[in-house]
Amino acid sequence: MEVLHLNDIIKSSKNILITSHVNPDGDTLGSMCGMYELIKTNFKKKSDMLIVSKLPDKYTFIPNVKLAKHIEEIDKSREYDLVINVDIAAIDRICDGKILFEKAKHTVNIDHHKTNNSYAELNFVEGDASSTSEVIYAIAKDLNWEINRDTAVCLYVGILTDTGSFRFSNTTPRAMEFAAEMLKSGINPQEMFQHCYETYTKGMALCQAYCVDKAVFLDDDKIVYTTVYKKDMEKFNTDEEFAEGLTERLRAITSTCVAFVAKEMKNGGCKISMRSKSIDVAEICGIFGGGGHKFAAGCTMKSNVEESVKKILAEIRKHEL
Ligand SMILES: [Mn+2]
């Protein structure tokens, strides 16, 4: 059994690295810290954790997340016995962490993205799972690992955030069963919700309202998109964190079939975040080197915001809405 193999590899590894993806979300951070705690509790081993971009302020409450090292703080010539990637659909999502992954004696890939091509030595890829945190919880249960409160907090955050508070189509019975078990172990759902969602500053809320206000509605309002420029964030004195939930807000409009947000990047390129109620947006983002899930996906484009919007619209319009 694959889980027993995982158990053996962890047991035999002296130094372990757990990696999270670029622009970390609640699931990759919850999965990373959950795995850290599981290994600490069940094997009495402290792993290294890797972060490759800024840790969002609101996730600093996740147990042990502050122990994670930024990529600059890790010796890239280091050969780990084991590197565990969590929520990493494709290897370039860990940026320079790739160097450490490629050098490692053993590699494990735990994920729930359908586009994940099982690139590691040992792969736990469950495309129907709500979150990587759900996959990790299932592994821990299968192996009868002890799941303490800190682990439960971490993995609850992953399930909560990746299901959009148990609202998205990936809210499986198993995800809710696991969450229910976590609540029984003493997790406070309101506290978790406040940490993950009630964290907007005034500037963030106003910037989001501004971006909704300038949204463009096309094709009988079935397509809606908005743009985010550096100057917008400067005007409202906020960083990119304000945009979380923005694409979902546009999808929430009754007429919407597809919604996307086109965000200007520092290097002049554009980051696209797409949500859909019908067509497969992972496929569209895949055309531009991105990916994700059927109804929630993203990609990064080299072209500027205006050009990127044109390209995305052309792809959307190849589908019947
Ligand atoms: Mn995820």
In total, how many domains does the chain have?
2
How many angstroms separate the alpha carbon of residue 132 from the centre of ligand 1?
5
Q: Are residues 208 and 193 in the same domain?
A: no
Q: Are residues 69 and 48 in the same domain?
A: yes
Query: What is the pLDDT averaged over residues 137-163?
Result: 98
Quote the crossing angle between the two packed helices 2-12 and 26-43, to the nearest 10°.
70
Cα–Cα distance, 81 to 15 (Å, whole number): 6
How many angstroms separate the alpha carbon of residue 115 from the centre of ligand 1?
12
Q: Domain of 297: which CATH number? A: 3.10.310.30
Identify the band that residue 240 occupies on the pLDDT scale cut at 50, 70 and 90. confident
Q: Are residues 8 and 113 in the same domain?
A: yes
pLDDT one-digit tens code per residue, 155-187: 999 999 999 999 998 999 999 999 999 999 999
pTM of the model: 0.87
Q: What is the pLDDT of residue 80?
A: 98
How many angstroms separate the alpha carbon of residue 220 from the centre of ligand 1?
32
Cα–Cα distance, 89 to 110 (Å, whole number): 9
The C-alpha angle 268, 269, 272, rounded to 5 degrees, equals: 140
Q: Are residues 160 and 218 in the same domain?
A: no
Q: Are residues 180 and 209 in the same domain?
A: no
SS3 191: helix
CA 92 to chain CA centroid, nearest Å: 14
Domain for residue 321, yes or no? Answer: no
pLDDT one-digit tens code per residue, 264-285: 998 899 999 999 999 999 999 9
How many angstroms separate the alpha carbon of residue 235 from the centre of ligand 1?
31
Q: What is the mean pLDDT of the chain?
A: 96
How many angstroms separate the alpha carbon of residue 192 from the centre of ligand 1?
17
Domain for residue 283, yes or no? Answer: yes
pLDDT at residue 241 tops 90: no
Decide if 36 contacts 64 (C-beta within 8 A).
Answer: yes
Decide if 123 contacts 107 (C-beta within 8 A).
Answer: no
Name the residue range of residue 136's domain. 2-197
How many angstroms separate the alpha carbon of residue 295 from the centre of ligand 1?
13
Percent of the chain clearing pLDDT 70 (strictly above): 100
Cα–Cα distance, 148 to 76 (Å, whole number): 32
Q: Determine if residue 133 is left, alpha or beta; phi over 0 gives left, psi from -120 to 50 gives alpha, anything else beta.
A: alpha
3-class SS shares of the chain: helix, strand, coil, % to 5:
45, 15, 40
Query: What is the pLDDT averaged over residues 29-34?
Result: 98
Q: Are residues 172 and 191 in the same domain?
A: yes
